[in-house]
Structure 1
Amino acid sequence: MAKSRSKTGKSTKYEIRQSRIFSESFKREKVEDILNKRISIIEFCKLWDVSSTSVYRWIYQYSPHYKKGTKMIVQQDSEEAKTQELLKKVAELERILGLGIPDKNRWR
Structure 2
Amino acid sequence: MKPNVRLLRKHRRYSDEFKKQIVADFEIGKFSVYQLSRLHGVHSTLIYRWIYKFSTFNEKGVRVVEMENSSSKKMKEMEARIKELEAALGRKQIQVDYFEKMIELAKTELDIDIKKNYSTPQSTGSGKTKKK
Using the size of structure 2 for normalisation, the TM-score is: 0.39
Would you tell me which structure has more strand in proportion to its own residues? Answer: 1
